[in-house]
Amino acid sequence: MIRVLIVDDHPVVREGLARLLSRAGMYVVGEAGSGEEGVGLARGLSPQVVLWDLAMPGGGLAAIKRLREAAPQARILVLTALDDPLLSREAATAGADGFLAKTCAPGELVAAVRACARGERVFPQGPELSPREEELLSLLSQGLSNREAAERLGISVKTVESHLENLKRKLGCKSTAELRARALRRMKPGLP
């Protein structure tokens, strides 16, 4: 029986997860409402898989390192409501073993937990961005226009436009407006 720890600050989400996983024959060893509590429980309960929310107090990507230290044997499956195709790569870099969107179907969730417990890495096919595309995306997220971005990068507006086309394709955006909106929503006030 797979032993799962649920860490999410929304009780209604914990309730749903616990019910879905129990129904699939898994054992929910505990539930935590914050990152700190989750790390503490992971240390004591030695779960096989930890379901880890990103946008919660004491949670996020940074806390994954502490969770890893507290429970080295546990597999960490990030489950998030954030709609951002770049986030799964960041989660992998931060040390997670899997990444899943909360819009996933119950069957997908159960399959992902099982795969994680078997030691597989569960990540959606994320887009591979070139360093230039990363740079441009970060300038867009600061609200720069194409011309401003071109000046900043020392390249022509035409080149910026062709990078934008590639970004749109890779990130599945239908329009430049959507790409800009996506980039702006990544804006994190208070961070450099």
Partner 1 sequence: MRAVIVDDHPVVREGLCSLLSRAGVEVVGQAQGGSRALRLIRDLQPDVAVVDVALPGLSGIELCRRIRRRLPQVKVVLISMFDEPAWRAEAGRAGAAAYLLKGDPPERIVDAVLRAARGEVLLPRTGGVPPLTPREQEVVRLIAEGKKLSEIARILCRSPATVRAHKASAMRKLSVHSTTGLVRAALELGLVRVPEVPRA
Q: Is 40 in the site for partner 1 (CB under 8 A)?
A: no
Site for partner 1 (CB under 8 A): which residue of 3, 20, 126, 132? 20
Q: Which helix (H) or strand (E) holds 142?
A: none
- Which is nearer to partner 1, 44 or 151 (by Cβ)? 151
- Residue 120 amino acid letter: E
Alpha-carbon separation of residue 12 from 16, 21, 25, 152, 159 (angstroms) = 6, 14, 20, 46, 47
The answer to whether 85 contacts partner 1 (rule: CB under 8 A) is no
Strand partners, 79: 100
Q: Which is nearer to partner 1, 14 or 163 (CB)?
A: 14
CB of 19 to partner 1, least distance (A): 5
Q: Assign 52 to helix, strand or coil.
A: strand
State yes or no: residue 161 binds partner 1 (CB under 8 A): no
Measured between alpha carbons, how far is 170 from 52 in angstroms, rounded to an integer? 27
- Is there a contact between 11 and 19 (Cβ–Cβ < 8 Å)? no
Number of CB atoms found within 10 A of residue 146's CB = 18
Closest CB to partner 1 among 44 and 83? 83
What secondary structure does DSSP assign to 67-84, as a single string?
HHHH-TT-EEEEEE----
In the list 13, 24, 45, 111, the residue contacting partner 1 (rule: CB under 8 A) is 13
Which span (86-94, 110-118, 124-132, 154-162) binds partner 1, by CB under 8 A?
A: 86-94
Among 60, 85, 126, 127, binds partner 1 (CB under 8 A): 60
Positions that interact with partner 1 (CB under 8 A)? 9-17, 19-20, 54-55, 59-65, 79, 81-84, 87, 90, 93-94, 102-106, 109, 143, 145, 173-175, 177-182, 184-185, 187-189, 191
